[in-house]
Every structure is written in C-alpha cells, then in structure tokens.
Amino acid sequence: MHLAAADLAALIALCRAEIDRHGEHLSALDSAIGDGDHGANMRRGLEAVFAERDAIAALPLPAALERIGLVLVMNIGGAAGPLYGTLLMELGRALPGDAGAGDLAAPDDLAAPLERAIAAVARRGRSGPGDKTLLDVLYPVQAELVRRSPPGDIAACARSAAHSTGPMQARRGRASFLGARSIGHEDPGASSCALLTAAICGYFEEHRPS
C-alpha cells in the first residue's frame, strides 16, 4: 500500500492535532523530571511542520522526511529536537531514493529503514534500551514492524512501552540528574513518541486497502 501526497499532508495535520491535544499532559510529565516544557516544545515543532505541510507533501518521501526532521530540529527545544530530527532525517535517508513524489510507504515497509534511523538516534543521544527515553518506545515499535503486526497492535505496543518507562531510572538527559527520584514518572519523550506513533497507526488502520 502507498498513500498519496494528500495523505502525508493529512498525517502531518493529525500529528499536530494529537500533540496539541496532549501538550499540557506532556509538559506535566516533563515538570516531574525535566524542565516542564516538552509539550510546548513539541507543539512548536509540529506547528512549524504543519505550516509547511503542502510543500513537504509535494516532495519525494525521502526528501519530505528529511525536511520534517530539519524543521523539528530548528523548532523543538531541548534534547527532543535533535532526537526527533535525527530520527526523521535518517529515516528519509534510509528509504529508496526513487520513492514517488509524496508517497508514504505502509508501516510494514519501514522496518529496515526505521532500524537504521533508531540506531542513529541511539548514537546521537548516547543511549539505549532501558535508559528512559523515546528509544524505549522506538525499539519495541520497530520489532512489531518486523513481525508485520497490524497498525492497531503497533499503536498498543507504543502506548504500553511509554507507560513502561515509569518504573525506570533515567540514565540520560536532565532526568538522569534526579537519580532514583526519576523512578515512578513516565518519560515525556517516550509519551510524545507513543502519541505520534498511535496517531500514524490509526491513520494507516483507517486507510488500509480492502
């Protein structure tokens, strides 16, 4: 399955709406173990991408993802900007260069490119599984893609993985300075990652071929 440029624009709008809806919750999570601005930062980043959605959707998919990543780097503050930006830019670079203009590959086409992108995020953040970051959502989501799980299962996996960061002790980022006091709080980056993943999966589930 491939979706057209209009669907990519719609996905951008959907992600922006999801982050806007949950922005205060994300900032509340961040207040417990960070600066308290993750929701505001994510809103700013997604608003910037939304403002360019038509131009982005007209690009070949690899270039579109790279552009989204660059916009996020430039507009999301803190550690989240470079991590999300790296994820999207590396995902774009990992896709075939001849992907059609505006095409969006189905989730199960993204397993190998996502694996490469996640590795780049891990290098950028010098982190790995169990460090209480968005990687704790990305790794299990990628595993579900390898298993070719349906979108609903991938979304459920992302939500569960985000909740599972609560009992973890942060080992990277500002939250790591809290030591054991970071235990008991869901990681805001993992939470925003799960929200975005679930929104994207929901769109694929609704638009999957008959």
Label residues 119-145 b or e (16+ Cβ within 10 Å = b).
Answer: ebbbeebebeeebbbbbbbbbbbbebb
Determine the Cα–Cα distance for residues 178 and 36; give it in Å rounded to an integer.
Answer: 14
pTM: 0.90
What is the structure's pLDDT at 103? 46
Domains of the chain in start order, with CATH, are 2-206 (1.25.40.340)
Mean of the per-residue pLDDT values of the chain: 89
pLDDT tens, the chain, 210 aa long: 455 788 999 999 999 999 999 999 999 999 998 889 999 999 999 999 999 999 999 999 999 999 999 999 999 978 899 999 999 999 999 987 655 444 445 555 789 999 999 999 999 999 999 999 999 999 999 999 999 999 999 999 999 999 999 998 888 777 777 778 878 899 999 999 999 999 999 999 887 643
Determine the Cα–Cα distance for residues 83 and 113; give it in Å rounded to an integer.
Answer: 16
Closest CA relative to residue 182, chosen from 111, 110, 131 = 131
Helix (H, G, I), strand (E, B) or coil at 185: coil
Closest CA relative to residue 120, chosen from 151, 92, 162 = 92
What is the structure's pLDDT at 203? 93
pLDDT digits (tens, 9 = 90+) for 3-52: 578 899 999 999 999 999 999 999 999 999 888 999 999 999 999 999 99
What is the structure's pLDDT at 207? 79
What is the structure's pLDDT at 90? 97
